[in-house]
Amino acid sequence: MQLFSFALLVASFVVSIGAQSIFTPARPPALPLAVRSPYLSTWLKAGSDGGNGGYLAGQWPVFWQDQSTGWTGLVRVDGKTYTWMGLPGTETVNQTAFEYTSTKSIFTMNVADKLEMNITFLSPITPTDYKRQSLVFSYLNVEVSSLDGEDHDVQVYADISAEWVSGDRSSIAQWDYGTTDGVAYHKVYRQTQVGFSQWNEQAEWGYWYWATEAGKDVTHRSGRDVDVRGEFTGKGSLNNEHDDKYRAISDNWPVFGFSYDLGGVSSAPVNVRFSIGLAQDEAIQFEGASSYDALPSLWKSYFNTELEALSFFHYDYERASYISSSFDSQVAKDSLAVAGQDYLTLTSLSARQAFGATQLCGTEDKMYMFLKEISSDGNMNTVDVIFPAYPIFLYSNPELLKMVLEPLYENQEAGKYPKAYSMHDMGSSYPNATGHNDGTDEPMPLEECGNMLIMTLAYAKAAKDIDYLNEHYDLLKKWTGYLVEDALYPANQISTDDFAGSLANQTNLALKGMIGIQAMSVIAEETSHYSDAHNYSKIARDYIEKWQDLGINKYANPPHTTLSYGDADSHGLLYNLFADAQLGLNLVPNSVYQMQSDFYPTVENKYGVPLDTRHSLTKGDWECFAAAIASPDTRDMFIKDLATWINETPTSRPLTDNYDTNNGNFPPSPTFVARPVVGGSFALLLVTS
């Protein structure tokens, strides 16, 4: 923590001028505000391409897909009203600082040199506490104090619009106001609930809660945006009216406001807190071992009603904040120890994004974690998307890795997938985890078999769970059979980097298959299948010998692996090598690690090393996998380039994992944003040199 504070000081020293904000440790392309699930995912665009540089006031926060969520904050000081969030029209406060940790985004505002505001968006991450992790809720905490030694008359206002409740702005919203257990709430929802459906990636079912603590100084109102905000601007309070003309989201934009009269505010900080979240009784449709089933959200196991969950969450700030801060500190301590501040810049920005693509469902006896392949196609629990994300789950709680693989095992072990290799995903469209009985999923046979074997062993080792290996032995063995057939000379097929097209004999893909076979040898050994263990180990070692002749250009200066066998001038990130080190397999000789480590700096561009010779784009997740097993110098090169890119990229969408290494922008296609694969930045924390 010492080092971290030092880094803060340095950053502050460099950039502070006038009304400009400093950004610590970086100014990300989009700043996470409330980011907890595929449907609770609100950001502030920051990059030059559509963002305003990272200022909370003067721009609408957006859902990850880019549509506004109309989130607004106002503050009234001695009778004059200013905007601190959104773009409702009044004069904006001056943002002086922004800082992020793994779970928090913290803004500091100066209001006319009279008032300071510290605005904290906390999206808790509680990896081993399923009760708290299961709640799809986020906090907004506003702290104000006098800056000039005088007492000021202060009122604080915040609202949400009905834009949160559906992606279709012409759909009819409905709302209620109430109090429960001392918590005042606006409940807002789509009047016609459409279960398990999405529009513009937003959920079309469930109930949104926007809440604060009730009290005599708190007033509320629902109504047309300009009326509600206008009333606050004029008099610093709301008239507690309920607008009962339920209507389309975009019809005289209904908003749901709270106003706090704080009275005279001195230099002693005063605090106001809001909670925002989504309650869905049933969250996922799942084709598991039994027949087709609608799964409850996991929070249903801990709370009888939505209101009970809401009130628990709202009053739980101290504890949720404490657990989240412990997670922040752990990530900071570990990241700094491994690769310094640039590395922490990356891991701490990735954490909410990775967890924000997940959702816990089921019951306490049978929990599942579902994961959305956000932005690329919306597939569920995509094996080659879980794979790049697995480092953050293994790091924070190995059981989460088990819980995200569970639906895939359950479905396939019930015989619901017809192919000899592993299924690509649990369903084409989140939230329908309905499998692929007809086998028409995106075929990535070698990739996914290798991934399943590697992640299964990774979980079992971390959790010391041999039973798990026994339970899944038959299916694992079947997949290994496929790898034995295909890994040495991979057929023409796509890898996880499907946007790059298909190719035969991919060097990196072949390596994954061989590592998968060796992983199976260890699984067999652990479960006392000794002849299998011997057989697979023999095959893997034989293959890796041959692979070194097939996939390495020994005559290049310096030598390197090729993109595909025999294509001498080609090269690519050999990111699959990571699994050999992470699992401690010792399948691949050290010379290969050293060779790649020496090679990468020779093909470095401004913002990193290209994925392969087909383009100048790269994948940030795979760069982290490559960095994790590189020499210290090469590792630091990768990490520094990524941290520089985060600060300088013109993109203004939630962190992409796919960008051009020369200009830092999106490639012409595809545009990947907000994907959980950024959890791959935790890869460095899983291998100790």
Ligand X SMILES: *[C@@H]1O[C@H](CO)[C@@H](O)[C@H](O)[C@H]1NC(C)=O
Q: Which chain residues interact with ligand X by CB under 6 A?
A: 18-19, 82, 91, 93-94, 108, 110-112, 116, 118, 143-145, 196-198, 269, 285, 429, 432, 481, 484, 489, 492, 504-505, 531, 535, 565-566
Please report how close the Cβ of residue 168 comes to ligand X at its closest, in angstroms: 13
**Look-up: residue for tokens 């050994």?**
525
Q: Which is nearer to ligand X, 197 or 330 (CB)?
A: 197
Please report, as a single letter, which amino acid is at residue 409: Y
Q: What are phi and psi of 74, to 5 degrees?
A: -130, 155
Contact (Cβ atoms closer than 8 angstroms) between residue 612 and residue 571 = yes
The set of long-range contacts for 640-643, using a CB threshold of 8 Å and a minimum separation of 24, is 640/342, 641/604, 641/606, 641/607, 641/608, 641/609, 642/342, 642/346, 642/607, 642/608, 642/681, 643/26, 643/341, 643/342, 643/343, 643/345, 643/346
Please report how close the Cβ of residue 531 comes to ligand X at its closest, in angstroms: 6
Beta pairing partners, 108: 97, 118
Q: Which is nearer to ligand X, 52 or 285 (CB)?
A: 285
Contact (Cβ atoms closer than 8 angstroms) between residue 557 and residue 605 = no
Neighbours of 668 (CB within 10 A): 9
Q: Which is nearer to ligand X, 200 or 602 (CB)?
A: 200
Contact (Cβ atoms closer than 8 angstroms) between residue 396 and residue 127 = yes
* d(C-alpha 346, C-alpha 361), whole Å: 29
Q: Which is nearer to ligand X, 249 or 488 (CB)?
A: 488
Residues 6 or more apart whose CB falls under 8 angstroms from that of 500 comprise 494, 611, 612, 614, 615
Residues 6 or more apart whose CB falls under 8 angstroms from that of 555 comprise 568
Q: Which is nearer to ligand X, 469 or 678 (CB)?
A: 469
Q: Which is nearer to ligand X, 21 or 134 (CB)?
A: 21
* d(C-alpha 287, C-alpha 412), whole Å: 10
User: How open is the CA angle 88-91-97, to the nearest 5 degrees?
Assistant: 100
Q: Which is nearer to ligand X, 309 or 380 (CB)?
A: 380
Please report how close the Cβ of residue 368 comes to ligand X at its closest, in angstroms: 17
Contact (Cβ atoms closer than 8 angstroms) between residue 162 and residue 224 = no
Token couple for 645: 């890119």
Please report how close the Cβ of residue 16 comes to ligand X at its closest, in angstroms: 13
Please report how close the Cβ of residue 477 comes to ligand X at its closest, in angstroms: 7
In angstroms, how far apart are the furthest CA atoms of the chain?
A: 81
Please report how close the Cβ of residue 525 comes to ligand X at its closest, in angstroms: 14
Contact (Cβ atoms closer than 8 angstroms) between residue 357 and residue 675 = yes
Please report how close the Cβ of residue 53 comes to ligand X at its closest, in angstroms: 15
Contact (Cβ atoms closer than 8 angstroms) between residue 139 and residue 317 = yes
Q: Which is nearer to ligand X, 110 or 330 (CB)?
A: 110
Please report how close the Cβ of residue 150 comes to ligand X at its closest, in angstroms: 15
Q: Which is nearer to ligand X, 402 or 512 (CB)?
A: 512
Please report how close the Cβ of residue 245 comes to ligand X at its closest, in angstroms: 29
Please report how close the Cβ of residue 529 comes to ligand X at its closest, in angstroms: 10
What DSSP string describes 524-588? HHHTT-HHHHHHHHHHHHHHHHHHHHHSEETTSSS-EE-SBTT-TT--B--TTHHHHHHTT---S
* d(C-alpha 381, C-alpha 275), whole Å: 28
Please report how close the Cβ of residue 543 comes to ligand X at its closest, in angstroms: 12
Q: Which is nearer to ligand X, 196 or 253 (CB)?
A: 196
* d(C-alpha 375, C-alpha 382), whole Å: 13
SS3 610: coil
Please report, as a single letter, which amino acid is at residue 473: Y
Q: Which is nearer to ligand X, 309 or 361 (CB)?
A: 361
Q: Which is nearer to ligand X, 326 or 492 (CB)?
A: 492
Token couple for 178: 């109430």
Q: Which is nearer to ligand X, 481 or 559 (CB)?
A: 481
* d(C-alpha 125, C-alpha 162), whole Å: 26
Q: Which is nearer to ligand X, 69 or 146 (CB)?
A: 146
